[in-house]
Amino acid sequence: EILRSSLASTILHLKAVGVKDLLKFDFIDPPLPETFMRALESLLYLGALDDAANLTPLGKQMARFPLEPELSKVILRSTELGCAREVVKIVAMLNSGTGGASAVFTRPRHLINVAAAAKRAFEDDKSDLITLLNVKLAFEQQQQQQQERKKEGEICQTVKQVQADEHHGEDAGAKRSGRKPQGSVSQWCF
């Protein structure tokens, strides 16, 4: 895990679990000193560490996310700006294990024109991140519509069953109430 993730993320999480002296930490594969210093500088710049390399309150919050420190800070900052919902969607797409952002922008050679046209439908000319958000929102809307159609189908099945039961009841000699149904549910379902 340490080799797969950025050193800044590893350092942040080691600090969060109480490792005080990172230079004495027994890494399986010790990082190069330059890489180590760059990671510390990055965490200092993000506000996760103070000048003495101690974890800051912001750093403690950042360490709670299973993300790279930069993305953790973006999410935390977005809560202050009132756009956390949108930012979380973007970060989820960026951090997806199934290709995420790169999968969205992949253009197979045999479908390059179709892929380009599809991207243009969601494209924001100022930001690829907003384009990514537009894709995610469209996907969620489609998922919701599919759920609604499924629910409508279930309701229609119930209406059909009720009407079938009414007909069976009439065949058995039961009488209708005399009221006419309101709306056009039966027309919509049949």
Give domain status of residue 81, yes or no.
Answer: no
CATH code of the domain covering residue 39: 1.10.10.2130
User: Which residues on adjacent β-strands are paired with residue 55?
Assistant: 49
Give domain status of residue 112, yes or no.
Answer: no
What's the per-residue H, E or C state across the chain?
CCCCCCHHHHHHHHHHCCCCCHHHCCCCCCCCHHHHHHHHHHHHHHCCECCCCCECHHHHHHHCCCCCHHHHHHHHHHHHHCCHHHHHHHHHHHCCCCCHHHHHCCCCHHHHHHHHHHHHHHCCCCCHHHHHHHHHHHHHHHHHHHHHHHHHHHHHHHHHHHHHHHHHHHHCCCCCCCCCCCCCHHHHHC
pLDDT tens-digit profile of 156-169?
A: 777 777 777 766 66
Give domain status of residue 82, yes or no.
Answer: no
Percentage of the chain beyond pLDDT 90 is: 29
pLDDT tens-digit profile of 16-58?
A: 999 888 877 888 887 888 888 999 999 999 999 999 999 999 9
Give domain status of residue 145, yes or no.
Answer: no
pLDDT tens-digit profile of 166-188?
A: 666 655 555 555 555 555 555 55
How many structural domains does the chain have?
1
Q: What is the pLDDT of residue 105?
A: 72
Give domain status of residue 2, yes or no.
Answer: yes
Give domain status of residue 19, yes or no.
Answer: yes
Give domain status of residue 60, yes or no.
Answer: yes
Give domain status of residue 43, yes or no.
Answer: yes
- Which structural domain, as residue segments, surrounds residue 8? 1-65
